[in-house]
A and B are shown apart, each in its own frame.
Chain A
Amino acid sequence: MTLILAIETSCDETSAAVVEDGQEILSCVISSQIEFHKKYGGVVPEIASRKHIEVINPVIQEALDKAKIKQNDLDAVAVTYGPGLIGALLVGVCAAKAIAYSLNIPLIGINHLEGHIYANFLKVSRDQGIQASSSLKPRNLETLMPFICLMVSGGHTMLVLVEDHGKYKVLGRTRDDAAGEAFDKVARLLKLGYPGGPIIDKLAKEGNPNTIEFKRPMIEKQFGYDFSFSGIKTAVVTYVNKTQDSGLKTQDLVASFQQAVVDVLVDKTLRAAKEYNCKTVCLAGGVAANSCLRKNLQEKGQGLNILIPPLSLCTDNAAMVGCLGYYKLKQSQTADLKLAPVASLGL
């Protein structure tokens, strides 16, 4: 049995988890979660490295307590060292180094993007599970390779071919805005509130996605697997300004916008699966929580093995870091105490 303490502080969230054998989540604490805040009496943290410093120790302690283990039971510490905000990453990396040094256990540096892919391979308990694809058995992930991963969040949009552990080929990426960013900014422009993703998802369920035929940006084959979502937010605003007071329902507007984004994501993902002869496609990142994306991918990807992590593992969390850390440890890919954060780390 291998117990890994995992730490993730790449952006807004301070998170720590204890993961057993790369599969079982014994605990996963995220600082912005209400539960944690009730206990420590804080408010939702601002985006700042100083806030990470304030909560990192209680978050780690809570993760150990919830997992009912002591520091001495740990076999290794895994930590995200990039990409992300340098000051935020530094807090997690320093904490991980201190623990690895004091317990004399291996330190493992984790790429945040790679971690998101591995969120698909954590065991999901029934109370977390809602996903059609989430089997309750641990997955033998080597048998799934090669597979295509669509990574979509507020900060990233990329299509990745995963050939083996650590062997990635980025097939395409956004040239401007991430898909999640487009959702948030459209919500802002329409004054729907924050966070925009879940709000639009909910409203769109009551709307007709065929009301407005927004241009599907860069869907044509000539653009390969690259994406562009900057223009579509402007297209939505322009449309609203042009059709003022014509009785356009917000539900229809956002449903049409959402469908345009989802069409591009699903089209390119399935095209990649076909071209690279992959039988498995997985989703990663916060936008993987979008119900339209999930539904469309499952419907249009019939015959493929579609993996979607539970909602709680789509957004930033330390459990995914602990999962990947296990495979890195097995391959002796450990770091030394010189491990330094890298803001613009690629896959």
Chain B
Amino acid sequence: MKFITKSTEETVELGRKIGKTLQPNDVVALIGDLGAGKTTLAQGIAQGLGVKEYVTSPTFIIINEHQGRIPLYHIDLYRLETPGAIEDLGIQEYFSKGGVCVIEWAERLGELRPSNIKSIEIKVMSEDERRFIFFPDIILKP
């Protein structure tokens, strides 16, 4: 399934719809280049999960926890270049803590990928336009 957004606001709105569908122990992988809009989509997902505070980039701190209707673990593997470093931090423990994990730079998980992972690949089409490819499909309500 594919979606196209034409602005930051549309990306947040798409995220919000995704967030509304998520259940405890769901793991969402966000894959895309720097500036593709991973954190923007994650901000929308957080809104869909009922998170009220600002969802800022977890790049430096690696894991941000937010309270929504279910907890959101917003994870960024940008600074973790080896599977060993990811394992050392115990990232996998978050997959089954009863919350939702949204993971930026999730391709770095390698073999640590959980089998239930939902991948969203973000492609930059032009300055404002982004294409989102879901695998497997996430059924969004209108």
Q: A residues bordering B, Cβ < 8 Å?
A: 11, 46-51, 83-87, 153-155, 173-178, 180-181, 184-185, 188-189, 230-231, 233-234, 237-238, 343-344
Asked if residues A344 and B64 are in contact (CB atoms below 8 Å), the reply is: yes
B17-73 contacts to A, CB under 8 A, are 34-35, 39-40, 43, 54, 56-57, 59-66
Task: List the B side residues contacting A178 at CB < 8 Å.
Answer: 56-57, 60
Counted as pairs of residues, one from A and one from B, with CB atoms less than 8 Å apart, the total is: 80
State the majority secondary structure of interface residues on B: loop
Q: B residues bordering A, Cβ < 8 Å?
A: 8, 34-35, 39-40, 43, 54, 56-57, 59-66, 79-80, 82, 84-85, 88-90, 127
Asked if residues A87 and B89 are in contact (CB atoms below 8 Å), the reply is: yes
Known: A47-B79, A230-B39. A155 touches B89 (CB 8 A): no
Known: A85-B63, A173-B54. 13 other contacts (CB 8 A): A46-B82, A47-B62, A49-B89, A173-B56, A175-B54, A175-B56, A176-B57, A177-B59, A180-B60, A230-B39, A230-B40, A234-B127, A343-B63
Task: List the B side residues contacting A47 at CB < 8 Å.
Answer: 62, 79-80, 85, 89
B28 to nearest A CB, angstroms? 18
The residue from B39, B61, B66 contacting A83, defined by CB atoms under 8 A apart:
B61
Task: List the A side residues contacting B8 at CB < 8 Å.
Answer: 231
Q: Tell me the bound Cα distance from A173 to B57 in angstroms.
A: 12
Task: List the B side residues contacting A189 at CB < 8 Å.
Answer: 34-35
Q: Tell me the bound Cα distance from A230 to B54 in angstroms.
A: 13
Known: A87-B89, A189-B34. A176 touches B60 (CB 8 A): no
Asked if residues B65 and A181 are in contact (CB atoms below 8 Å), the reply is: no
Task: List the B side residues contacting A181 at CB < 8 Å.
Answer: 57, 59-60
Q: Tell me the bound Cα distance from A153 to B61 in angstroms.
A: 11
Chain B: CB-nearest residue to A189:
B34
Asked if residues B54 and A344 are in contact (CB atoms below 8 Å), the reply is: no
Q: Tell me the bound Cα distance from A191 to B112 in angstroms.
A: 29
A209 to nearest B CB, angstroms? 22
Asked if residues A49 and B88 are in contact (CB atoms below 8 Å), the reply is: yes
Q: Tell me the bound Cα distance from A175 to B34 in angstroms.
A: 18
Chain A: CB-nearest residue to B8:
A231
The residue from B59, B63, B88 contacting A48, defined by CB atoms under 8 A apart:
B88
Chain B: CB-nearest residue to A177:
B57
A126 to nearest B CB, angstroms? 32
